[in-house]
A and B are shown apart, each in its own frame.
Chain A
Amino acid sequence: MARLGMVIDTKKCVGCMDCVVACKTENNVPEGYNKDWIVQETKGAFPTLTTEIRSERCNHCDNPPCVSCCPTGASHVHELGKVVLVTKNECIGCKACVASCPYDARFIHPDGYADKCTFCIHRVEKGLDPACVSVCPTHCMYFGDLDDPNSQVSRLLASRKNHSLMPEVGTQPRIFYLR
């Protein structure tokens, strides 16, 4: 079974937010909410400052606390690519999954269920890339099977320095950022 993940080249990302707009359009994300977003992180001391621009979203962790804490099984790991999803008519809106996510990637949809990035599973099932990946004007986002050593994502991770977000939390995120 594939283990889908994403690799984002922070050297190419310009923070244009096309990925954010594409996600909102493709997934009908309600006004005022975001399933993906842009973070700009600046570190160091002048004049040796470094800035990293990242497109962030649910990390579809290998060890997802949002799935284990769900009392109804609405939050689950989908058989296609081990993508973490929510079945909206099984969700009671208890918000345990929202509190359990160290990335604060989830939110409560105005209709009452927990919602988040789905890696555009409806597109992936048709063999397409997620909307954010397909629209990126700088082609900084890559999507594929992390378990396949010949996939583009695996080769990029093998050849470039990279990091994930908060690895110390132990959730084993599947989105990686190339330095």
Chain B
Amino acid sequence: MHDSQGRIVKWFGTATDIDIVKQADAELRTINQTLEKRVAERTAIADMRTKQRQKLTVELIEAEEKERRRIAQLLHDDLQQMPASAKLQLETATDHTSDDPALENVGKILKASIAKARRTAHELSPPVPRHAGLLDGLKWLVSLFKEQFDLRVHLELKRQHIENEPLKIFQSETGELPAVSVIHGRNRRSSCTPAVCGCCSSMTMP
């Protein structure tokens, strides 16, 4: 307050308690920090579970692959040898001179069964994608479709770094593709996107 000459005659002041505001402020900061920490923790758990799941999938695929190889080996080394041996013995016995159509037919059946066993063993344990990258694997698959089913497959790549995708999972997915193509038939255009690498590639089968 000033007098008529402008001199101070009295000071007047107030002090406001803003403790509640400060406390709320501090509390809010703590809550935010806790929240960030919780989000980080949950994210870490989710990441860990994803990795575990991926590891399990790979293990499962490896087990399946091992079993496929075992059966393929059994076919090739054991079962396939029987008709081969029978064919050899038949040839020795008839000395390529018999005109008996029944024996000739047996020979044809034995030859066909050898071929079938060999093809089945090969399909059970495909040689290509085991060591190649995903891109090579997909290309191999395209050629396989052309060769086996006379299907033209259009390979469309949407991402550049597909080489890093887990190859094991790719193998598992592509293992099912021939079956899918048979179901969809030859004349229908169908698109098949493997689940694991769905974001990076798609295969269209006309």
Are A and B part of the same complex?
no
Q: Chain A: residues with CB nearer than 8 A to chain B?
A: none
